[in-house]
Amino acid sequence: MAPTPKPQTSGQPLDVQRIRADFPILRQRVHGDRPLVYLDNAATSQKPQAVIDALTTYYTEYNANVHRALHYLGERATAGYEAVRGIIARFIGAPEDGVVIFTRGTTESINLVARTWGPDQVQAGDTIIATGMEHHSNLVPWQMLCQERGAKLKLVPVNDDGTLDLTAYTEYLTDRTRLVAVTHVSNVLGTVNPVREMAQRAHAVGARVLVDAAQSVPYMPVNVADLEADFFVFSGHKCGGPTGAGVCWARRELAEAMPPFMGGGEMIERVHDDHATWAEVPYKFEAGTPSIADVIALGAALEYLEGIGMEAIHAYEQKLTAYAIGALARLPGVRVFGKAPERGGAVSFDVAGLHPHDLSQYVDQQGIAIRAGHLCAQPLMRRLGVPAVSRASLAYYNTTGEIDALVAAIGKAQHFFGHG
C-alpha cells in the first residue's frame, strides 16, 4: 500500500503544558491529593483525548464488523480500519514492497513470524541470533522455535556500557544464520542499537532481520526502509493507542510465502468441506473479527504524534532523559544502568540496600508511578548482576519537575528504610 502524504508539522519545540492538557488521566490526584506523576511509559503510554474520542466515535457512530457487512455502518468501519494501514506505513517509513498486518501487539507479532515464517525457514543445525538485552517477547518465541527445529539460538553479549558487542555479533553470523532478532531500543538500558548496520551484515550472509520496535516507534522518528528490516513489529498501546492493536510489518514476498497464523473467518478465500484456500495478505494473517475500534484509535494516536512531530518529541525526550540520569546519579547509593552514547527514555537504576519493589511501593504512595522488577529481561538482569531494577521511563508529556519529585521521593525512601 502506498503511504499517504505526511501532514506538515510546525517544526517548533514542543510545549509540554499544552500537551499535558490533551491527557485527561494526568489531571487527577492520587493517594490523598498528590499530583499523579506517571513515569512508567515504557510499559504503556497514556492516551490523548483524540484517541479516547476515536474509540467513542466508533462505538457511538459506526460500530460494525469489517469486510463483510454490506451496509452503511459496515462500509464506514471497513474504510476507517483499512485507512490505518496507510497511516502506519507512512509513520514508520515503510517501503512500498511491504504489508501491514494487524495483531494484538508486539508479542503477537513476533509469535506470528516465529510460527509462520519460522518452521519453513529454520532447519536443524541453523542458527537464530538474538541479543542479551531482548525483552522476553523477542526471546522466548525463538527459544521455542529453535527447540522445535533443532536449531541453535545465540545471544549477542551486552557490553558494560549497555551497547551490543558487535565483534561477537559478526563472529556469530554464518551462512547457517536464518534470522537476526534485535530490539531497536532497549526497554531496560535505553540503548539505541545500530539496527541498520546489523541488518546489512545479516543480509550479507542471507539472514532475515526482525526489529522489535516497541520502544523506538513511540520515542524517535523511524524509517523501516533505512533500517533495512524484513520484519518490523510494535505495539499501539505504547504509542498513545489503546491496548489490543499492534503491528507486524513484513516484506510482501516473505508474507506471501508464509502460511496463515490462525484459521477461521476472514482469513479464507474459499472453504470446501475438507480444506480451504487462503485470502490474500494481509488478511490471511487476520483470522476472526479484529480489534476494529483499537486499530482505528491507533491511527488517531499516530496522527496525534505526527501533529506534534517525532523530531520534536525525540529532542525533548533526549533532554529530559539526560536530566533524569544526571539527577539520579547525583543521589548517594544510586547506580544508573545503560550508558550507551545513543539512548532512549528508559532509565533503570539500583538504590543500594533498597529493593526495587519496596522503592516503587514507597514512591507510589507519593503519587509517583515507576516500574520495579526484572522488566521481562531476566537474561539481562543476570548480566547486570541484579535480581531486579527500578525504572523510570519518560514520555514527551513528562516534565523536569516530575523528575525532581521522583528524586525527592527516593531520598525519603532511603531514610524510611534506614539507609539514608
Partner 1 sequence: MDDLDQLYQDLILDHYKQPRHRQALADKDVSAEAENPLCGDQLRLAVEVDGNCVRSIRHDGKGCAISQASASMMSETLTGKPVAEVRALLGDFIAAMRDEREFDSAWPDEWLALQGVKKFPLRVKCATLAWHALNRALDKQGSS
Catalytic positions, please? 376
Determine the Cα–Cα distance for residues 43 and 265; give it in Å rounded to an integer.
32
Considering the complex, what minimum distance in angstroms separates the CB of residue 372 from partner 1?
6
| CB-nearer residue toward partner 1: 172 or 417 | 417
Grid look-up 565483534 returns 167
Q: In a 10 Å sphere around its CB, with 0-12 CB exposed, 13-18 middle and 19+ buried, how is residue 63 labelled?
A: middle
CB nearer to partner 1: give 210 or 376: 376
For 249, phi and psi rounded to 5 degrees?
Answer: -90, 135
Q: How far is the CB of 418 from partner 1 (least distance, A)?
A: 6
Closest separation between CB of residue 12 and partner 1, Å?
41
At residue 229, φ and ψ (nearest 5 deg) are -75, 150
Q: Which is nearer to partner 1, 42 or 213 (CB)?
A: 42
In the complex, the smallest distance separating the C-beta of residue 134 from partner 1, rounded to whole angstroms, is: 17
Q: Which is nearer to partner 1, 305 or 372 (CB)?
A: 372
In this structure, which amino acid lies at residue 98? Answer: G
Q: How far is CA 330 from the centre of its chain?
A: 30
Look-up of cell digits 522476553: 136
Residues lying near partner 1 in the complex (CB under 8 A): 31-32, 355-358, 361-362, 365, 372-374, 381, 386-388, 416-418
Q: What is the Cα 31 distance to its own chain's centre?
A: 30
Instruction: Give the nearest distance from C-beta 362 to partner 1 in angstroms.
Output: 7
CB 63 within 8 A of CB 262: no
Q: Which is nearer to partner 1, 119 or 373 (CB)?
A: 373
Helix (H) or strand (E) holding 183: strand 177-183
Main-chain phi, psi angles of 26, to 5 degrees: -75, -10
The minimum distance between CB 343 and partner 1, in angstroms, equals 23
What is the nearest approach in angstroms of partner 1 to the Cβ of residue 417? 7
Query: Does residue 213 contact residue 232 with C-beta atoms inside 8 Å?
Result: yes
CA-CA-CA-CA dihedral for 245, 373, 391, 335, to nearest 10: -150
CB nearer to partner 1: give 27 or 31.
31
**Start-to-end C-alpha separation, the chain:** 58
Q: Are 184 and 211 a contacting pair, CB within 8 Å?
A: yes
Nearer to partner 1, 366 or 393 (CB): 366
Q: List, as one string, the DSSP characters of 283-314.
A: GGG--SS--HHHHHHHHHHHHHHHHH-HHHHH
- What residue type is 344 in one-letter code? G
The neighbour count for residue 124, using CB atoms within 10 Å, is 9
Nearest to 410 by CA among 359, 365, 369: 359
Secondary structure class of 164 (helix, strand, coil) = strand
Exposure string over 26-50, b if 16+ CB within 10 A, otherwise e: beeeeeeeeebbbbbbbbbbbbbee
Which is closer to partner 1, CB of 282 or CB of 338?
338
Provide, rounded to whole angstroms, the least separation between the CB of residue 214 and partner 1: 20
Q: Which three cell numbers stand for residue 129?
A: 541470533
